[in-house]
Amino acid sequence: MGYGSYGSRTSSVGSTAGGPVTYTVTYADVNFSGATLAAGEITLNKTGTANAGTVSVSGTGSTRTVTLGGTTGNGTLGISIAAGTAGDAAGNLAPAAGPSQTFTVVNIGTQTLTFGALAGITYGDAATVTLGATASSGLPVSYTLLSGPATLSGNVLTITGAGTIVVQATQGGNSVISAATPVSQSLVVAKKGLTVTAQPASRVYGQANPAFTAVLSGFVLGETSAVVSGPAGLTTPATTASSPGGYAITPAVGSLGAANYSFTTFTPGVL
């Protein structure tokens, strides 16, 4: 007997995620007398991780429909048919046939990003921060600097000043994994505290107080008072009528200002 085409796929798609996909099996012998094709006589031809959860056969006469359902994984699927699934009037059995035309199974997986909170630092404590987000897929993570005083190269954040830095982690996926939802984290870089020390001064009884001065200390990264604007506030209770003796010169913030420093410790001097 003859064994006709069974490779045409009646599904209109060349790829699928979960199916179903059907094949038409036609027994073309002019003396065809009957077919006994069953699911157990069909072999799946698989590549990659592609598979079918169900295989079923339907139809009557010389035409049968093989349906593959519940497809999973990624790769290609096709079928082959065992010998002896049909016969002719003379008792001849159909030979084995295959492999058929294949179709592509594409199942897009999902992934999530884990990007933990970034511990705050103080300006000058660390020049760089290494970012450590991970994707559940194991694919590499990319980063984008959204805002703040820093530069970014790969997963290394270089701190350039005090303030709030916002970084976004992304993973764009691939042919079998969808893109992850981006995750953003903030890194707070606190200003470095400076000490304001009033310098000692003196004058003769009855004269006006001299101009007081203060020294700033605690700078980092080789910086100096050149990065600070304005004078400190410096006061004393002594007046021209005060008796001779020592009087405190008390420092305060006054008009001091700096982008990356605050003024946290104040050491008095003596007049």
Cβ atoms within 10 Å of 79's Cβ, excluding its own: 23
Per-residue pLDDT of 113-146, as tens digits, reads 999 999 999 999 999 999 999 999 999 999 999 9
Residues 6+ apart with CB under 8 A from 186: 118, 164, 165, 166, 167
Burial 166-179 (b: 16+ CB within 10 A, else e): ebbbbbebeeebee
**CA atoms of 150 and 176, how far apart (whole Å):** 35
State what percent of residues in the chain have pLDDT above 90. 72
Residue tagged 């903030």 (tokens): 186
* Residue 237 and residue 167 in contact, taking contact as beta carbons nearer than 8 Å: no
Task: Give mean pLDDT, residues 67-75.
Answer: 90
Average pLDDT of the chain is: 91
pLDDT reading at 97 higher than 90: no
With cut-offs at 50, 70 and 90, classify the pLDDT of residue 213. very high
**CA atoms of 26 and 3, how far apart (whole Å):** 7
Q: 3-class SS at 227?
A: helix
With cut-offs at 50, 70 and 90, classify the pLDDT of residue 13. low
Token representation of residue 26: 């036609």
Distances (CA, A) of 49 to 52, 72, 81, 112: 10, 8, 21, 22
CA 162 to chain centre: 25
Task: Give mean pLDDT, residues 4-32.
Answer: 69
Task: Give mean pLDDT, residues 97-102.
Answer: 85
Token representation of residue 40: 């157990």
Per-residue pLDDT of 174-200, as tens digits, reads 877 899 999 999 999 999 999 999 999
**CA atoms of 30 and 63, how far apart (whole Å):** 13
Token representation of residue 209: 């107080």
pLDDT reading at 4 higher than 80: no
* Residue 146 and residue 183 in contact, taking contact as beta carbons nearer than 8 Å: no
Cβ atoms within 10 Å of 71's Cβ, excluding its own: 25
Residues 6+ apart with CB under 8 A from 51: 44, 71, 72, 73, 77, 105
- In sequence order, the β-bridge partners of residue 183 are 169
pTM above 0.75, yes or no: no
The least confident of 19-33, 36-50, 251-265 is: 19-33
